[in-house]
A and B are shown apart, each in its own frame.
Chain A
Amino acid sequence: GQSLEQPSEVTAVEGAIVQINCTYQTSGFYGLSWYQQHDGGAPTFLSYNALDGLEETGRFSSFLSRSDSYGYLLLQELQMKDSASYFCAVREEGRGSTLGRLYFGRGTQLTVWP
């Protein structure tokens, strides 16, 4: 089976740093992805980690620890526009030549206050 756990809500103020954690259980792990979704909008790809360590892209960084089945998304210098839902996602192991599905967590609603 497949499960991902992430907090349902996180709040912070502008300029702060926030970390959104994701723990997963999966049969066959192929990396952890993060997506952002604003209210009424489409999910958009943020980052992908296949190996342990920190990947930095501007104000956003993503971390993975395969041994701990854990990752996080770090958002720095928060801005009001960062208020959105953030989803972690893992690729499930496929069967034979069949592609495994991309399984999403239930999302973390981030609210940034002025």
Chain B
Amino acid sequence: DAKTTQPTSMDCAEGRAANLPCNHSTISGNEYVYWYRQIHSQGPQYIIHGLKNNETNEMASLIITEDRKSSTLILPHATLRDTAVYYCIVPTLGRLYFGRGTQLTVWP
């Protein structure tokens, strides 16, 4: 079972920051938060993960609240190619269970 809740859909203007929220209020102290995205018909793509500190890589930034009950994935300058379903996942016994994610639509 997915341990996270995400909005069903969001949209964002091209060139603006996309901020995708995720709630994981039952997360335990040693559990990581992972983010994936899936562009239409393709396999999911790993984006980033974190434990309690904020993380940044070439794709995105991950902000985790101090109580770890929620996080936000930030795409700093969204492009049309970022239109996808974004999944926030807290693994269970090392296994990833995908919920329905957030459909992000980036419009011109």
Tell me if chain B binds chain A: no
